[in-house]
Amino acid sequence: MTTEFLVLTRAVHFGACLLFFGIFAFDRFTAASILADGKIEAATFWKSRVRAAGMILLPVIFISGISWFILVAMTMSGEPPQLEILKIVWTQTEFGTVWKWRLIIWLAVVVLFIFSQSRIPFHQTLAWLQLLFGGVLLGSLAWAGHGLEDSHWHLLADILHLLVAGAWPTGLLPFALLLRKLRRTSEPAIVPLVRRFSAMSLGSVALLTLTGWVNAWFLVGSFSNLFEQTYGRVLLLKIALFIFAVAIGAVNLLRLKPRLSTGNSQTQIFGLTAAQLQFNVQMELSLGTAIVIVVAILGILPPAVH
């Protein structure tokens, strides 16, 4: 039962960290420039959603992180959680050291979030700092996984893999929310929104493929291990889900984006194309959620190369 709870806790924690970073990455690199004038209705909508996301995700990250720590301590000791055991894991293990630093980073993120949501001077600078520390919080998960076991190159690839995944596919959720709002108000901002997010997605897919290959090189070892070892077979499932998500993204890029770019926001064809795009994005989101669950499982399995 501990294993099942650990997988669930890891999935929730990974998902919350990815989503927190992904929302603010989307805000800084995509939404901010499109909604900068604040005149369109979607600008107010987006700001409220960013605020709500932070208020929900930060407690989830904290609670799931504490739960993860307790479950790992139970696994290490083979006993129910006891204060003395938790203290030993916290002060005398590498895992405890990683979690101490992550708690400090989480506190910094909370402070930055509180101030960046206010209208104090330099709140835009604080928003960028919040993105930076959110990325550090997400990237630090590499020290809690297999990336620390081999080489610095593997660790670097693991960190980059996490950060890029925060942009895509995680960024699909804020993209879907804003796209839905723009569709309802028939805003012409849909076109630049899709254009900017498509550019970010293309770069993300390329980097995810490269860093994923590096991770597989260190953790799988050989092509045969993909089929003969449990870790390899679960990794194949992740790769299959990733390919399906990329295929849907390719349809969005090659078929739907050109239609939006050449159409008028008031026409029926434009509306149908935007609706199809939103449906496809929701499908990609479902696949992305499944990938997070698979990643949580991979984290507790011994690498195939072992």
CA distance 172 to 51: 18
pLDDT tens-place string over residues 189-231: 788 888 889 888 989 999 999 999 988 888 887 888 888 889 9
Please give the mean pLDDT across all residues of the chain. Answer: 86
The beta-carbon contacts of 105-108 under 8 Å, at least 24 apart in sequence, are 105/133, 105/136, 105/137, 105/140, 106/58, 106/61, 106/62, 106/65, 106/137, 108/133
* pLDDT digits 0-9 by tens, 29-76: 988 888 876 567 788 889 899 999 999 999 999 999 999 999 988 888
Q: What is the pTM of this model?
A: 0.89
How much is the average pLDDT of 126-136?
Answer: 92
Residues recorded for the chain: 306
- The per-residue pLDDT for range 83-121, each reduced to its tens digit, is 888 999 999 988 999 999 999 999 999 999 988 777 666
pLDDT attached to residue 306: 60
Residue 127 contacts residue 29 (beta carbons within 8 Å): no
Count Cβ neighbours within 10 Å for each residue of 75-92 and write b for 16 or more, e otherwise: eeeeeeeeeebbeebbee
**Burial (Cβ within 10 Å: 0-12, 13-18, ≥19) of residue 125:** exposed
> Which residues have CB under 8 Å from 270's CB, separation 6+?
259, 260, 263, 264
Q: Which of the 8 DSSP states describes residue 120?
A: -
Lowest mean pLDDT, pick from 113-117, 152-156, 258-262 = 258-262
